Structure 1
Amino acid sequence: MRIGDAAAAAGTTPRALRFYEQRGLLDPPSRTGTGQRVYSDADVDRVRVVRALLGLGLTVEDVRARAEVLHLVDAESLHGGTVPEGVCSGTSPVVARRLDALDEEIGRLTRLRASLASATRTGRADADPADVAPADTHRTDADADPADPGRTDDGPAGPGGG
């Protein structure tokens, strides 16, 4: 199937497919005689897996680090909470690093919330900005999802998701 059909089947955009290919998350597809990309059903399944992993909070770099085992994952199993051992398990260093980054961000947001709640109660905004500065989650422009400018590969940008 051509890129537009494959993107629609995977629930994404042609731009995202090219991005995933460029980042090593998707093998380069075969091409027609005129150079157009042709995707298989397996390619579409892989894109669904990639998107599901990104939706779980992993970054493009996290997913690329496990690209060699993505063929073992079924996108539906990710939604059901079942993932084959070694792909996205708690023992994976990729997952461990991401969990640490999320824990740091949760701590930062908790402090920010407490500062805001205190300022609301007292009518003063005396929070030290250093206490609530954004955590370094090692996010780069490479983690931006070109299919959705308001989303990074760390998850939806806001209400309604991405």
Structure 2
Amino acid sequence: MRIGEAAAAAGCTPRALRLYEQRGLLPPPGRTASGQRDYRPAEVARLRVIRELLGSGFTIEDLRSCADRLHLLTQDPPPRCGAADAPEGSGSGVVGRRLAILDAEIDRLTRLREDLARRAFGDRAGADPPPYEPVPVTHRSPAAPPAPATP
């Protein structure tokens, strides 16, 4: 399949697909007689894994460091990735570092939330916080007409 079809099948853009190729996450695809990229189902499956891992908080550099083992994640079921059963150099260090970064971010956000609750609710911050109304987010396209004013 051509690059646009492969990108759509994996939920990304052709530009992102080319970037993954340039960064070594995706092997160069075969070519058609006219020189266009020709992706096989295995390459699309790998691309889906790359997208899923990027969505899980990994960076392109994280994935580059274990790019030669990404094919393992396209197996069904994928092999276990625990540090205890991972062979040396299998990428478990990347996973451990990413988990540590996520844990640090969770801690930072928890402290930020606690500080905000303390500032907003004072001594009541430790107890059940009072209910609050989330701010609704409305999405309008720039071309949409303004909403009519309500009296």
Identify the TM-score tier after normalising by the shorter chain.
0.5 to 0.7
Q: CA deviation at 1:70?
A: 1.3
Q: Distance in 2 between matches of 1:54 and 1:75?
A: 18
Q: Percent identity?
A: 60
The aligned counterpart of 1:84 is 79
Q: Distance in 1 between matches of 2:74 and 2:12?
A: 17
The aligned counterpart of 1:118 is 118
SS at match of 1:16: helix
Q: CA deviation at 1:53?
A: 1.5
* Counterpart mapping for 1:51-90 below 5 A: 51-74=51-74, 77=77, 83-85=78-80, 88-90=81-83
TM-score, structure 2 as length reference: 0.68
Q: What are the ranges of 5 or more consecutive residues in structure 2 without an aligned counterpart?
A: 85-91, 123-151
Change over 3 Å in CA distance of 1:75–1:48 after alignment to 2: farther
Structure of larger gyration radius: 2
The aligned counterpart of 2:105 is 105
SS at match of 1:24: coil
Amino acid at match of 1:99: L
Amino acid at match of 1:72: L
Q: What are the ranges of 5 or more consecutive residues in structure 1 without an aligned counterpart?
A: 78-82, 123-162
Q: CA deviation at 1:42?
A: 1.1
Amino acid at match of 1:62: D
